Structure 1
Amino acid sequence: MSDKVCVGAIGGAFGVHGEVRLKSFTADPEAIADYAPLTSEDGSRSFDVQITRPVSGGFAARLSGIRSKEEADALRGLKLFAPRDRLPSLPDDEYYHADLIGLAVHDTGGAELGRVKTVLNHGAGDLLEVQLKGEARSVLLPFTLAVVPTVDLTAGRIVADPPEGLLE
């Protein structure tokens, strides 16, 4: 597990005074500011965050050191990370998406199906995109207790019971 977790991303400038459009990946979207200072993935940039107002698809926010539209636009696409120890502890049946990516996925018989490529959520629940072992294609696996009965972060593996026909 990484010592940093991606908690948001910058969508570009919002207005002409250095505000950015901020998309939050936290359970309580406004709580992203509570985990500041946030850093770039490599840690080379660090920002304090002040949410100014909600906007379509996220928030308008001020980041420390960003004063102009040009500086804000230059940050478009930047992912923002918080140290894991600043984030709340999760119950046993909840996971940070960052912890699931890269885990091996095995079927209930123990055969490896592939690895988690990403975790998606389009509003109806989480989906694990699993890159199938030895294949170029990937499949979307519903991240429900019925389909994914076991997540073992210590062993680095997930046990899945994919719906019939999914892997064909």
Structure 2
Amino acid sequence: MPQAGMLLLGVIVGAKGIKGELKVKSFTENPEDIAAYGPLQDQSGRTTYKLKVVGLSKGLPVVRIKGISDRTAAEALKGTELYIARDRLPETEEEEEYYHADLIGLPVFFQDGTKFGTVLRLHDFGAGDMLEIVPENKDDKLAVLVPFTVEMVPEVDLSGGRVVVELSEDFFENPEAPQETAKS
């Protein structure tokens, strides 16, 4: 479990070459920015890594870490998650731009003030971000995915600690399967 206030910025996915270079799956907007925020830490916070991006490999940043100079040492770091303190990240530039970590855990309300649930996580399946919301109703164990668009999520109030959703009346209805016609 990471320390409180720490955000996962990337994970080392393997060695590259024989001189200790590493491939990193980056969770930053621009993958090569993984090294732009200064030293990163492991999950425990006991080990600090200063990364230097030296290239890209299949869209993944290739980095060097001081003290890692051969493939064996690099392979030993495979799977290491790289964290940063939330307060070291810059403020967002756009008004409607948010860090995922700032949204996770926020209560979600309908426009009329009724509590709907809590943001569990955000996903990007390729067509835009989706909020995964755990409904307030404890009988319903399933989370709900809501497109993170202005139409569906008209208000995000970080200072007030809440998200407002506007879901159509038929949002929770399952469409009926089309009836097959008999062929003669």
Fold match (TM-score > 0.5): yes
**Structure index of larger Rg:** 2
1:131 & 1:8 partners in 2: Cα distance? 26
Q: What is the aligned-residue RMSD (CA, Å)? A: 2.1
Aligned length: 167
Deviation at 1:57, TM superposition (A): 4.1
Q: Percent identity between the aligned chains?
A: 41
1:116 & 1:17 partners in 2: Cα distance? 43
1:147 aligns with 2:152: yes
Match of 1:69 in 2: 71
1:70 & 1:128 partners in 2: Cα distance? 40
Code of the aligned partner of 1:146:
E
Question: In structure 2, do the counterparts of structure 1 residues 76 and 164 end up closer, same or farther at CA, with 3 Å as the change threshold?
Answer: farther
For residue 42 of structure 1, the aligned residue among 21, 41, 44 is 44
Match of 1:5 in 2: 7
1:110 aligns with 2:116: no
Q: Which moved more, 1:143-152 or 1:49-58?
A: 49-58
SS at match of 1:105: strand
Code of the aligned partner of 1:159:
V
- 1:100-140 superposed Cα distances (whole Å, 9 cap, x missing partner): 11111111122222211111112221111112221211121
Counterparts of residues 1-168 of structure 1 (less than 5 Å): 3-90=5-92, 91-133=94-136, 134=138, 135-168=140-173
Question: In structure 2, do the counterparts of structure 1 residues 164 and 22 end up closer, same or farther at CA, with 3 Å as the change threshold?
Answer: farther
Code of the aligned partner of 1:127:
M
Unaligned stretches of 5+ residues in structure 1: none
2:44 & 2:95 partners in 1: Cα distance? 29
Code of the aligned partner of 1:109:
D
1:73 & 1:129 partners in 2: Cα distance? 34
Deviation at 1:143, TM superposition (A): 0.8
Code of the aligned partner of 1:160:
V
Between 1 and 2, higher relative CO (CA 8 Å, sep ≥ 6) is seen in: 1
TM-score by length of 2: 0.79
Code of the aligned partner of 1:147:
M
Deviation at 1:146, TM superposition (A): 0.9
SS at match of 2:11: strand
